[in-house]
Amino acid sequence: MSNHTQPLLSIQDLHVSYGGIKAVKGIDMDVYAGELVTLIGANGAGKTTTLKALMGIQAYQKGDIVFNGQSLHKVPTWDLAKLGIIMVPEGRGVFARMTIMENLQMGAFLKNNKAEFDRGIDYAFTTFPRLKERASQLAGTMSGGEQQMLAMARALMGQPKLLILDEPSMGLSPVLTEVIFQVIDKLSTEGMTIILVEQNANLALQAADRGYVMDSGNMILKGNAAALLKDPKVQEAYLGA
């Protein structure tokens, strides 16, 4: 975990409403370089809306989102990858009619350096050996777990400064969930900065350095992930204790 005084990402007093509904009500959240920060909360708490605002997919009425000292307020979604913000969306979003290799190439479309590309492919295949065996298979014919691996590998091809994972374990078996979390641990140990939004609060807090808990559009708790795991309120509400 880094000790920089400047966070890499800072969400400041963020307000998001749509259709008269206040989905996010003035939240603050900081992520420092090299940290894994998790955002947990029940369905409808505002987690996905927060991510959409961060990714420029959802307009916000008040507040600011600052990345690496730059406000993202008017930065279009497609320019975020150039800044190094890369998201693995909920539901994976792989290109079903393309092969695994073509999906990975799409992840590297901003990189025109062959050596860098080859390193990226190497890294993806070392991290997810299962993808290597099937490089020429169509993504749409793979299992949900394999598609999740591919979506993560594709994101890594863009060399993210900030990797955002939205519900990576959704719909996966416990065995595959474990595989995905082993990779998340590996990336975190290697120093990648990660925001993890995950239904499985227990797994998320075990993996994270710090956590934020959202409820009804408000940030109700934040702190060291290990401390949050032991917090009776968190245990009762999210860990089924």
Tokens linked to 206: 């075990």
pLDDT tens-place string over residues 156-194 = 999 999 999 999 999 999 999 999 999 999 999 999 999
Q: Average pLDDT in the 23-51 region?
A: 94
> The CATH number of the domain where 26 resides is what?
3.40.50.300
Same domain, 115 and 75: no
Residues 212 and 120 in one domain: no
Write down the pTM of the prediction: 0.92
Q: Are residues 139 and 106 in the same domain?
A: yes
Q: What is the mean pLDDT of residues 69-87?
A: 94
Whether 2 shows a pLDDT value over 70: the answer reads no
Token code pair at residue 170: 């959704």
Last residue of a domain, one of 136, 159, 182: 159
Amino acid 240: pLDDT: 66
Instruction: Record the tokens describing residue 215, joined without a space.
Output: 């409820």
Report the C-alpha dihedral over residues 52, 58, 63, 67, rounded to 10 degrees: 50
Chain CA centroid to CA 10, Å: 15
What is the per-residue pLDDT for 74? 87
Which pair of tokens denotes residue 92? 């994976």
175 and 232 inside one domain = yes
pLDDT at 129 over 60: yes
What is the reported pLDDT for 216? 93
Of 159, 174, 206, which marks where a domain is finished? 159
Query: What are the residues whose beta carbons fall under 8 Å from the beta carbon of 180, sequence distance 6 or more?
Result: 145, 148, 149, 152, 168, 169, 172
Residue 241 confidence (pLDDT) above 60: no
Same domain, 164 and 149: no
Task: Please give the residue range of the domain that contains residue 14.
Answer: 1-84+160-241
Q: Which of 113, 142, 159 is the last residue of a domain?
A: 159
Partners of residue 27 on adjacent β-strands: 14
* Domain identity same for 19 and 113: no
* Range 79-91 average pLDDT: 92
Residues in the chain: 241
Both structure tokens of 35: 């940290």
Higher pLDDT, 74 or 155: 155
